[in-house]
């Protein structure tokens, strides 16, 4: 007998050699029927997995993320089986579960159409109804290659596996696929599937490789849950910043300008400016000093900082190292520039901490297939900052950074939508990082202690650190459920020494300072995308590009309308007037579609009494109000950054 410790802490005994499914049955037949995979000592496994030693065991139903992934991964194989039935010449690539669904990539002569998806989905439902037996088996490398000899992408994946890797397959009726699993035991409980869309995707995400055809889908156990998800998806499409941002005149793109290079239109530029002025003023209140540094540098600077060896592929390089005596590069980050500013003078411990801030225009060579709207771009603007401090000041400065970030997130109204990730190095991938295991361990322990002192609820992620130190990533999900990093805070143990930074300690000795890399609002482009989706374009008044719109009932009241506009502008309100000879109902509808917080209608009565007739997003028609009273109301709302 072996002992298994369950999620609730209770301990049960099962026979050595029992499967995870057997263990689930020993707990409850109902649990076994609802189980789709398990977790042994934190590792997700198949229900077929054999237990042969004492362990911690969790049984995963569809209510868990792991259970959902097992179901959806299995349905991705059903998708591949259906495609192979309908298009025998298609070559299969990969088909993982993802947030809220799955996808599978295929090499086909012609990209899939909407009509193709309908045919494939019907074939998938047929396979599910057939409920073929699902079996797992393993093969040595040579036999695995032979089995997959007609599937070049699978052969490549097999050859990429390490010598000690187990090469496993899942057979589903007449379809066999290379896969580590886990997969469900049966398809019979999966009652609701939907193929959602197609897209192009480079093999292995590398634009140098062939473009494959990707099919996205999702799966649920119940039709009602699928219907609710599809309804939410339609709502998400309405909020998608890439669509809504263009409709509202926030930004546009143009093929002649290039991918990943959005152009902010007047309304978007005003929103951008409003956020930037607020952040720069707030940072100044908190003791930050501004720098203004070049957009490019000789590569010597990036060689010294280590970015050249760790980051060069993601940089726009101007010149050829083999041909040119001077090679330049557009900056992907500002840190080595601000450190150079620091090194222009000798500093004492009494000068520290020094908090540098800069609204930085940065450039990163994103792959063309990765770019999307404002969230993945090649040129972006970061509220970048670096704090140079003594070791004793690290925790208090880190705490102040988190306080600033929390204030910014609360004011923007997205604090409830964020999560925290403690990103660590991967000691098995030393080429990706500065290889100093002792420094990594010490700095990571220091950051973990600080985070625990701050009572931050975080998850740990190995392999997500910057090359020079661990970081705290503030994560936010977009309307489609994809998680992006919007802000990072990093503790850097390496670049100070690499770039010759120092300060004179109280004992008169030269010491290397610690550096905290941080942002406050993150990348403005990505944050604006988040705000468009959060508010569906109906921004709080303080950040709205147009805060009020004045609509005269007719030309007779145009002069008074202009007086109202002048009064509001003198008081710092962003206002427009609509002098078109359209019916007032039409003009009101248009202003509403533009998500303007306040619509001010003026006619004979309003002009005679120095009033405005107020329609607000919150309360609709509020009736007439003295102009002075409205000015007090809106300026107070703006000053307090009310939401």
Handedness of CA 525, 529, 534, 540 (dihedral sign): positive
Where helices occur in 557-642 by DSSP H, the ranges are 558-570, 584-593, 604-609, 627-639
> What CATH number corresponds to the domain at position 214?
3.30.980.10
Count Cβ atoms within 10 A of the Cβ of residue 236 and give its class: 0-12 exposed, 13-18 middle, 19 or more buried. Answer: middle
pLDDT at residue 631 in the model: 97
**What is the phi/psi pair of residue 293, to 5°?**
-120, 165
- Span of 55-69, 143-157, 298-312, 604-618 with lowest mean pLDDT: 298-312
Per the structure, the count of domains in the chain is: 4
pLDDT at residue 127 in the model: 95
pLDDT digits (tens, 9 = 90+) for 366-418: 877 677 899 889 999 999 999 999 999 999 999 999 999 999 999 999 988 88
What is the mean predicted confidence (pLDDT) over 91-118?
Answer: 94
Written as six digits, the tokens of 391 are 């070791």
What is the mean predicted confidence (pLDDT) over 307-336?
Answer: 88
Task: Please tell me the distance from the alpha carbon of residue 280 to that of residue 288, in angstroms, as a whole number.
Answer: 9
* Cis peptide leading into residue 182 (ω within 30°): yes
Tell whether 256 is covered by a domain: no
Written as six digits, the tokens of 263 are 């152009």
pLDDT at residue 575 in the model: 97
The 10 Å Cβ neighbour count of residue 500 is 12
CA neighbor of 70 nearest in space, from 179, 204, 214: 179
Q: Percent of the chain scored above 70 by pLDDT?
A: 100
The 10 Å Cβ neighbour count of residue 98 is 15
pLDDT at residue 290 in the model: 97
Q: Report helix, strand or coil for 44.
A: strand
Task: Please tell me the distance from the alpha carbon of residue 561 to that of residue 579, in angstroms, as a whole number.
Answer: 9
Indicate if 9 and 32 belong to the same structural domain: yes
pLDDT at residue 526 in the model: 92
Q: What is the dihedral of CA 408, 360, 310, 404, to 10 degrees?
A: -20
Indicate if 27 and 154 belong to the same structural domain: no
CA neighbor of 579 nearest in space, from 561, 565, 597, 566: 561
pLDDT at 434 over 80: no
Where helices occur in 107-151 by DSSP H, the ranges are 114-130, 141-147
pLDDT at residue 491 in the model: 86
Tell whether 133 is covered by a domain: yes
Tell whether 257 is covered by a domain: no
pLDDT digits (tens, 9 = 90+) for 1-13: 899 999 888 999 9
CA neighbor of 73 nearest in space, from 159, 179, 183, 149: 183
Tell whether 247 is covered by a domain: no
Indicate if 312 and 358 belong to the same structural domain: yes
Indicate if 515 and 400 belong to the same structural domain: yes
* Cis peptide leading into residue 612 (ω within 30°): no
> What CATH number corresponds to the domain at position 43?
3.10.20.30
The 10 Å Cβ neighbour count of residue 434 is 21
Nearest 5 degrees, angle CA 43-CA 46-CA 50?
Answer: 90
Written as six digits, the tokens of 362 are 């940065």
pLDDT at residue 288 in the model: 97
Indicate if 475 and 573 belong to the same structural domain: no
Indicate if 28 and 46 belong to the same structural domain: yes
pLDDT digits (tens, 9 = 90+) for 470-517: 889 998 887 777 788 889 998 887 788 889 999 999 999 999 999 999
pLDDT at 324 over 80: no
**Residue 612 and residue 576 in contact, taking contact as beta carbons nearer than 8 Å:** no
Tell whether 108 is covered by a domain: yes
303 Cβ contact list (under 8 Å, min separation 6):
309
pLDDT at residue 466 in the model: 79
Indicate if 370 and 303 belong to the same structural domain: yes
pLDDT at residue 191 in the model: 87
Tell whether 246 is covered by a domain: no
pLDDT at 305 over 90: no
CA neighbor of 404 nearest in space, from 284, 515, 484, 290: 284
Is 37 annotated as contributing to ligand binding? no
Written as six digits, the tokens of 175 are 């379809």
Is 60 annotated as contributing to ligand binding? no
pLDDT at residue 465 in the model: 85
- 481 vs 557 pLDDT, higher one: 557
Is 579 annotated as contributing to ligand binding? no
Indicate if 298 and 436 belong to the same structural domain: yes
Q: Report helix, strand or coil for 522.
A: strand
Indicate if 188 and 94 belong to the same structural domain: yes
pLDDT at residue 580 in the model: 93
Q: pLDDT tier at 620 (50, 70, 90 boundaries)?
A: very high
pLDDT at residue 565 in the model: 97
Q: Report helix, strand or coil for 119.
A: helix
Start-to-end CA span in the chain (Å): 61
Half-sphere exposure of 469 (CA within 13 A, CB side): 22
pLDDT at residue 220 in the model: 96
Q: Are β-strands 548-552 and 575-577 bridged in parallel, bridged antiparallel, or unpaired?
A: parallel
Q: pLDDT tier at 266 (50, 70, 90 boundaries)?
A: very high
**Residue 69 and residue 77 in contact, taking contact as beta carbons nearer than 8 Å:** no
**Residue 107 and residue 154 in contact, taking contact as beta carbons nearer than 8 Å:** no
Task: Please tell me the distance from the alpha carbon of residue 506 to that of residue 510, in angstroms, as a whole number.
Answer: 10
Q: What is the DSSP string of 348-393?
A: BGGG--EEEEEEEEEE----GGG-BTTTB-SEEEEEEEEEEE-GGG
Mean pLDDT of the chain: 92
DSSP bridge partners of 4: 12, 55
- Structural domain harbouring 348: 269-535
**Residue 275 and residue 528 in contact, taking contact as beta carbons nearer than 8 Å:** yes
**Residue 472 and residue 489 in contact, taking contact as beta carbons nearer than 8 Å:** yes
Indicate if 311 and 393 belong to the same structural domain: yes
pLDDT at residue 594 in the model: 95
Return the DSSP state at 414. -
Tell whether 262 is covered by a domain: no
| Domain limit, last residue, from 510, 535, 560 | 535
Q: Token pair 């390496």 is at which residue?
A: 494
What is the mean predicted confidence (pLDDT) over 544-573?
Answer: 96
pLDDT at residue 589 in the model: 95
CA neighbor of 293 nearest in space, from 366, 220, 343, 229: 343
pLDDT digits (tens, 9 = 90+) for 440-479: 888 888 889 989 998 888 998 888 887 778 889 998 887 7
| Domain limit, last residue, from 535, 568, 586 | 535
- Span of 277-286, 322-331, 382-391 with lowest mean pLDDT: 322-331
Tell whether 215 is covered by a domain: yes
Across 411-542, where does the E strand assignment appear? 418-424, 458-462, 471-477, 483-492, 503-504, 510-511, 514-523
CA 339 to chain centre: 29
Indicate if 357 and 378 belong to the same structural domain: yes
Where helices occur in 220-334 by DSSP H, the ranges are 223-239, 241-247, 266-285, 299-305, 307-311
* Cis peptide leading into residue 318 (ω within 30°): no
What is the mean predicted confidence (pLDDT) over 180-201?
Answer: 92
Q: Token pair 């049955």 is at which residue?
A: 25
Written as six digits, the tokens of 140 are 């040595």
Helix (H) or strand (E) holding 497: helix 495-498
| Domain limit, last residue, from 508, 535, 562 | 535
- Span of 7-21, 217-231, 286-300, 461-475 with lowest mean pLDDT: 461-475
Indicate if 349 and 494 belong to the same structural domain: yes
Count Cβ atoms within 10 A of the Cβ of residue 507 and give its class: 0-12 exposed, 13-18 middle, 19 or more buried. Answer: exposed
> What CATH number corresponds to the domain at position 412?
3.30.930.10
3-state helix, strand, coil in the chain (%, to 5): 40, 30, 30
Task: Please tell me the distance from the alpha carbon of residue 160 to that of residue 217, in angstroms, as a whole number.
Answer: 27
Written as six digits, the tokens of 358 are 């800069």
């Amino acid at each position: 007998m072996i002992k298994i410790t369950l999620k609730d802490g209770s301990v049960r005994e099962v026979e050595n050699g029992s499967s995870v499914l057997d263990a689930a049955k020993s707990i409850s037949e109902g649990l076994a029927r609802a189980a789709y995979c398990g977790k042994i000592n934190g590792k997700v496994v198949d229900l077929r997995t054999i237990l042969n030693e004492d362990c911690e065991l969790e049984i995963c139903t569809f209510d868990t993320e792991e259970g959902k992934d097992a179901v959806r991964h299995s349905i991705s194989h059903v998708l591949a089986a259906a495609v192979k039935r309908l298009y025998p010449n298609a070559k299969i690539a990969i088909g993982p579960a993802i947030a809220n669904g799955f996808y599978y990539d295929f090499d086909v002569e012609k990209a899939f159409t909407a009509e193709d998806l309908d045919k494939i989905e019907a074939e998938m439902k047929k396979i599910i109804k057939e409920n073929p037996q699902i079996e797992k088996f393993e093969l040595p490398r040579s036999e695995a290659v032979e089995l997959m000899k007609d599937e070049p992408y699978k052969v490549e994946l097999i050859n990429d596996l390490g010598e000690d890797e187990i090469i496993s397959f899942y057979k589903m009726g007449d379809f066999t696929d290379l896969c580590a699993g886990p997969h469900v035991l049966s398809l019979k409980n999966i009652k609701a599937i939907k193929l959602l869309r197609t897209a192009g995707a480079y093999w292995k995400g590398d634009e140098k490789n062939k473009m494959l055809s990707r099919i996205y889908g999702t799966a649920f156990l119940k039709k009602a849950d699928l219907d609710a998800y599809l309804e939410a998806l339609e709502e998400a499409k309405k909020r998608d910043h890439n669509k809504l941002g263009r409709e509202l005149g926030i930004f546009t793109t143009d093929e002649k300008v290039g991918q990943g290079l959005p152009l902010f239109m007047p309304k978007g530029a005003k929103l951008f400016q409003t956020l930037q002025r607020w952040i720069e003023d707030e940072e100044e209140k908190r003791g930050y000093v501004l720098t203004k540094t070049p957009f490019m540098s000789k590569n010597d600077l990036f060689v010294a900082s280590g970015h050249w060896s760790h980051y060069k592929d993601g940089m726009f390089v101007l010149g050829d190292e083999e041909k040119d005596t001077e090679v330049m590069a557009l900056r992907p980050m500002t840190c080595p520039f601000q450190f150079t500013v620091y090194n222009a003078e000798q500093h004492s411990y009494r000068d520290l901490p020094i908090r540098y801030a800069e609204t930085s225009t940065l450039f990163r060579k994103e792959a063309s297939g990765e770019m999307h709207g404002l969230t993945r771009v090649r040129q972006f603007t970061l509220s970048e900052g670096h704090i140079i401090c003594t070791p004793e000041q690290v925790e208090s400065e880190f705490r102040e950074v988190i306080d600033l970030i929390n204030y910014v997130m609360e004011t923007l109204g997205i604090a409830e939508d964020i999560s925290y990730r403690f990103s660590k190095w991967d000691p098995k991938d030393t080429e990706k990082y500065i290889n100093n295991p002792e420094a990594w361990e010490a700095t990571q322990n220091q950051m973990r202690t600080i985070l625990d002192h701050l009572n931050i609820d975080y998850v740990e992620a190995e392999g997500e650190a910057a090359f020079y130190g661990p970081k705290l990533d503030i994560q936010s999900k977009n309307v489609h459920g994809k998680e992006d990093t919007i802000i990072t805070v990093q503790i850097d143990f390496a670049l100070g020494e690499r770039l010759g930074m120092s300060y004179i300690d109280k004992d008169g000795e030269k010491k290397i300072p610690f550096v905290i890399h941080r942002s406050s609002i993150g990348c403005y482009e990505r944050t604006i995308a988040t705000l468009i989706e959060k508010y569906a374009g109906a921004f709080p008044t303080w950040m709205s590009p147009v805060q009020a719109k004045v609509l005269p009932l007719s030309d007779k009241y145009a002069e008074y309308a202009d007086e109202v506009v002048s009064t509001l502008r003198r008081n710092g309100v962003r206002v427009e007037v609509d002098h078109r000879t359209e019916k007032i109902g039409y003009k009101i509808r248009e202003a509403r579609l533009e998500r303007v917080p306040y619509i001010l209608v003026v006619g004979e009565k309003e002009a005679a009494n120095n009033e405005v007739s107020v329609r607000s997003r919150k309360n609709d028609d509020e009736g007439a109000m003295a102009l002075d009273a409205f000015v007090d109301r809106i300026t107070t709302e703006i000053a307090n950054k009310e939401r």
